[in-house]
Amino acid sequence: MKNRQKGVALVTALLVVSLATVAAVAMAARFQVDMRRTGNLLNGEQAYAYAVSAESWAYVILRRDRKETQHDSLDEDWSTALPPIPVEGGFVNGRIEDLQGRFNVNNLFSAGGEVNTIQLDYYKRLLEVLDLEPALAPALQDWIDPDINATFPDGAEDDEYLLADLPYRAANRPLVDISELRLVKGYTPEVLVVLEPHVTALPVSTSININTATPLVLLALHADIEESDVEQLIEARDEEADGEPFTDKKAFLAHDALAGLELLVDVDVNSDWFNVQTDVSVGRGQARLESRMVRGENTLQVVSRVRTGKRILPGEE
């Protein structure tokens, strides 16, 4: 009887030790997870702080550029990507992009809310040169215009969007960000992959910078412009092709590639709107910050900041 009691006591003791061991291991594992999570959060916040501070680099470059030249082109310092710069625990890199090298979709309407037919025709040509359906233009027109009447035959207003699995209404206002296009009828992910490198959404009417515009944006300037004409224009502005940036739009309009053509779309050689993209890696934390900046004659300010999640950074491919 005593031996049996001793056996039971031994089993009980072993069970208690086992439970204590399991509990200790679980607590240690949870502690390690919490420590790593806390470390990741701290690294992420530190990375974001570095990204915000990197805006000062863009500030200096863009302010200096405005003082030195009255045109903006791809051979200037601001267009050179910032190489990875070591910081404590990681590195920072960034680049500045001229948003006026793209078509501003909010140009489709005037400040008074009336459709700008010149800009609408341009947008349709841009869709065509991108091998996209011109029918995408009326859908975007209806998304921006202030009324609730759908444009026939390819427009879309509330009656179209309220039938979606998750119903919503047309914005009936200018786009705040180009990512809103994903809500517009016909603007599928496949369409946006092709379209987004050539368009932007800015709060004021803007001209197209002929020194930084993409080749397809230039090709859409006139129905009679050929690809060979665009090649000539790019060679004329490209330093690597022994060209020089256009310092005024008169020189651009007088180029042989545009002989006999009248451009109705507003073009220029300088820009006010820029996007600063900064990637930071600190420990296990990574951050991408996109800062939209507007530059005046004597001012430069950040209009918006968008913080995104983990992205592939240089050297991580």
Per the confidence metrics, is the pTM higher than 0.75?
yes
Sign of CA dihedral 190, 195, 196, 201: negative
β-strand 267-268 against 208-209: which pairing, if any? parallel
Which domains, ranges and CATH numbers included, belong to the chain? 45-100+272-308 (3.30.1300.30), 103-267 (1.10.40.60)
Residue 317's pLDDT band, with cuts at 50, 70 and 90, is very low
Q: What is the mean pLDDT of the chain?
A: 87
- 296-to-202, 224, 271 alpha-carbon distances in Å: 15, 35, 9
Between 289 and 112, residue with greater pLDDT = 289
Residue 89's pLDDT band, with cuts at 50, 70 and 90, is confident
Average pLDDT over residues 247-269: 94
Token pair of 18 as six digits: 């086992």
pLDDT at residue 29 tops 80: no
pLDDT in tens, 141-192: 999 999 999 998 899 999 999 998 999 999 999 999 999 999 999 999 999 9
Distance of CA 124 to the CA centre of its chain: 22
Query: What's the 3-state SS for 77-132?
Result: HHHCCEEEEEECCEEEEEEEEEHHHCEEHHHHECCCCCECHHHHHHHHHHHHHCCC
How far apart CA 264 and CA 134 sit, in angstroms, is 19
